[in-house]
Amino acid sequence: MSTPKILVAFYSTYGTNHQVALAAAEAAREAGAEVRLVRFAETAPAEVVAGQDAWKAQTEKVSDIPVISHDDMVWSDGYFWSAPTRYGSFPSQVRAFIDTLGPLWMKGKLANKTFTATTSAQNTHGGQESTLLGLYTSVMHWGAVIVAPGYTDQVLFAAGGNPYGFSTTAGAFDEAGKAAVAHQSRRLVQFTRQTEEANRIAA
């Protein structure tokens, strides 16, 4: 059995998506994957971050986690990304990194890799689904293989039932959410193995 290389990347202002990323990384390792946990760089002005105690505390909490790089993207066979919604889309911190990936995309180095994502918002209808769909639209341009959870396990219904990817309200990552994230992460590892094998046969 192959050992898929999974990149778990997150951006988290107050901590929810950081918690999701940790749960996803743990589940992927338990499923037999090699995992790298990285964060998207903070692009907001330092004085803005420092002006909110919770934001500042979260920034300091993750300071020892490496910032995502192009090398990470090439190394990976599959991606699990977690980030909050901002006005119905993913944050500028995530977009800023995506916008640097042109050289890798042009060389086909992002193609045929699996991808799944999760998100959070201040309220239930704060753009959770549109955030995930928008992110998936972006990675379709890479030729990524999207691995959405769909309705493939009962744990998803207990956690809100979002078929595009786990989503929650800010600060509400409970045991049901952890179970849903673990399922989504294991599913990513499963399909990454299958995609790797298909790519090997096609090569």
The per-residue pLDDT for range 137-154, each reduced to its tens digit, is 999 999 999 999 999 999
pTM reported for the whole predicted model: 0.95
- Position 21 scores a pLDDT of 98
The arithmetic mean of pLDDT across residues 24-44, rounded, is 97
DSSP H or E segment with residue 140:
helix 128-140
Contact 195, 116 (CB under 8 A): no
Q: CB count, 10 Å around CB of 74?
A: 13
Domain spanning 5-202, CATH architecture: 3-Layer(aba) Sandwich (3.40)
CA angle 79, 96, 34 (to 5 degrees): 20
The per-residue pLDDT for range 79-117, each reduced to its tens digit, is 999 999 999 999 999 999 999 999 999 999 999 999 999
- Going from N- to C-terminal start, the domains of the chain cover 5-202
